[in-house]
Amino acid sequence: MTIKGVLFDFSGTLFRIEPTESWLRAILTEAHISLPEPELLRTAERLEAVGAQAGGAPPAEPLPEDLAALWAVRDRSSEAHRAAFTGVSRQVPLPDPRLHDALYDRHMTPAAWQPYPDTAEVLGALRERGVAVGVVSNIGWDLRPVFREHGLDPYVDTYLLSYEHGVQKPDTRLFALACDALAVAPQDTLMVGDDRRADGGAADLGCTVHFVDHRPVTERPDGLRPVLDLLG
């Protein structure tokens, strides 16, 4: 088998969101609000525990009933995505209620994201080998500016974002759309992601699937390089 196309997940695969503490510090600084350091750290810990940061840790505790149903479909529209994450965030008291929306807005900025150390190297190598590349993400906002800001957009041939199609992984329809956009058969496509359930759905379409660990950028310097060994 020869791989002719590679699909990548976004968060935890090609990029990693900033730590929760710096996320909170950024919006407090922008709002000219100061918190005592122990309170700031406690607040960041609580935001992380409830899963308030899109792209960050999942909720570590049960969701309130009024949010559970919305959470399950949060990636199908931009409205649901914002409502789900700001709803979860509001479980944690902040000095100004408007900061919950500010946190959500912050996570959509290129400054909040950092590519893994080998992302550019691997995407560049795929381009040199003539392998088509797509990004398939469960997300509620347009991530293309993140790729442009970090100079990686030239390596991506297509983006399939769940909120733009009303379909979220592991639904095979999203992977099928990506394969069609690349003009590559699923049997000749490799899906690379960090979520065994969501990204693993590509296997049901006939794609080969390879998983990476969703770890901090400093702890995963070369997690993507094995992809190049799988090309055949």
Q: What is the pLDDT of residues 55-83, one digit of tens each?
A: 999 999 899 998 999 999 999 999 999 99
Could you tell me which residues come within 8 angstroms of residue 105 by beta carbon, excluding any fewer than 6 positions away? none
Mean pLDDT for the stretch of residues 24-44: 97
Same domain, 98 and 46: yes
Per-position DSSP letters for the chain, written without gaps between them: ----EEEE-SBTTTEEEPPHHHHHHHHHHHTT----HHHHHHHHHHHHHHT-STTSPPPSSPPPHHHHHHHHTGGG-HHHHHHHHHHHHTTS--SSTTHHHHHHHHHTSGGGEEE-TTHHHHHHHHHHTT-EEEEEE--SS--HHHHHHTT-GGG-SEEEEHHHHT--TT-HHHHHHHHHHHT--GGGEEEEES-TTTGGGGGGGT-EEEE-----GGG-SSSSTHHHHT--
At 160 the three-state DSSP class reads strand
Q: Is the pLDDT of residue 172 over 70?
A: yes
Q: What residue type is 47 in one-letter code?
A: L
Examine the fold and report which residue of 111, 135, 169 is the final residue of a domain before the chain moves on.
Answer: 111
Could you tell me which residues come within 8 angstroms of residue 219 by beta carbon, excluding any fewer than 6 positions away? none
Nearest CA-CA partner of 59 in 48, 67, 70: 48
The token pair that represents 107 in the structure block:
């996570």
Examine the fold and report which residue of 47, 82, 111 is the final residue of a domain before the chain moves on.
Answer: 111
Beta bridge partners of 24: none
Task: Confirm if 145 and 159 have CB atoms less than 8 A apart.
Answer: no
Return the pLDDT at 149.
Answer: 98
Return the pLDDT at 1.
Answer: 64
Domain of residue 152 covers: 5-16+113-229
Mean pLDDT for the stretch of residues 101-107: 98
Provide the percentage of residues in the chain whose pLDDT is more than 90. Answer: 97
Examine the fold and report which residue of 69, 92, 111 is the final residue of a domain before the chain moves on.
Answer: 111
Mean pLDDT for the stretch of residues 121-139: 98
Same domain, 101 and 213: no
Mean pLDDT for the stretch of residues 181-198: 98
Task: Confirm if 29 and 211 have CB atoms less than 8 A apart.
Answer: no
Provide the domain count of the chain.
2
The whole-chain average pLDDT of the chain stands at: 97
Same domain, 214 and 135: yes
Same domain, 180 and 169: yes
Same domain, 147 and 177: yes
CA atoms of 153 and 147, how far apart (whole Å) = 5
Same domain, 173 and 211: yes
